[in-house]
Amino acid sequence: MNRGAANRSATLGDYKRLILSDLYRISGAVTLSSLFRRVLGDGTYQYIFWMRTCLYASENRLLRRVLYPVARVMLRRYRYKYGIAIPFTTSIGSGLYIGHFGCIIVHRKTVIGRNCNLSHGVTLGQANRGKNKGYATIGDNTFIGPGAKVVGAVSIGDNVAIGANCVVTKDVPNNAVVAGVPAKIISYKGSVDYIGNTGYEDKIH
C-alpha cells in the first residue's frame, strides 16, 4: 500500500473504478443490473456508492452544483438509516466491503488501503494524546472483525486479520492475526479466506 497517497476520484475513470471494485467485492459481478440492484436495495453498498459519489461530485466544478447536494443528502440519509459514519473525504482504496451495517465509525483522517473488510461495530478512531496521538493507517487486504477498535496513530500492515472485539493500540505487522484486549498477535496466517472477490482489475474497463 502507498501510505502517503490519498485515494481520490477526481476523474470519471477513477470514480468508475472505485464504485465497480466495491460492487465486485460485494456481489462478484460488475454488471449494470447488479449495480442498479445494489444501489436500490443493498444498505451497505448504498452507503459506499453515495460516499464515493460525494467525493467525485465535490471535485468536479459542474457536478459540485448539480450532483453534490443530492449526494450529500443521500449519504446523510443512509448514515442515520444504517448507522455508518465514514466521511466521504476519508482516503479509502478500491474494493471496500462492509459485511453488515450498524455502528461503524471511521475518523476522516484515517487512511484505508485496498480490499478492506469492515464489520459491524467497528471503530477506527482518534487518540488525542500520548505516543499514539493521531489516526490509523490500514494496509491492503485487511479484515476487521465485528466490534473491533483501532485507536490512534497505529499502522496496520497488509493482509492482517483483526479479531472480533479486539482493541488495537499498537502497530501490527504484515500477515498477522491479532485478538484480545489489548490486541496480541496469535498467528501469522493473515487474512487469507476472509478477503474474497479481489480479482476485479481485469473486469473493470
Give pLDDT tens digits for 30-50: 999 999 999 999 999 999 999
Q: Does residue 110 share a domain with residue 182? A: yes
Q: Does residue 182 share a domain with residue 148? A: yes
Residue 50 lies in a domain: yes
Q: For residue 76, what are the domain limits?
A: 7-83
Q: How many domains does the chain have?
A: 2
Among 53, 83, 113, identify where a domain stops: 83
Within the chain, how many helices (H) and strands (E) appear? 5, 15
Q: Does residue 181 share a domain with residue 109? A: yes
Task: Give this prediction's pTM.
Answer: 0.92
Q: Does residue 132 share a domain with residue 71? A: no
| 150 touches 125 (CB < 8 A) | yes
Q: Does residue 110 share a domain with residue 179? A: yes
Q: What percent of the chain has pLDDT over 70?
A: 96
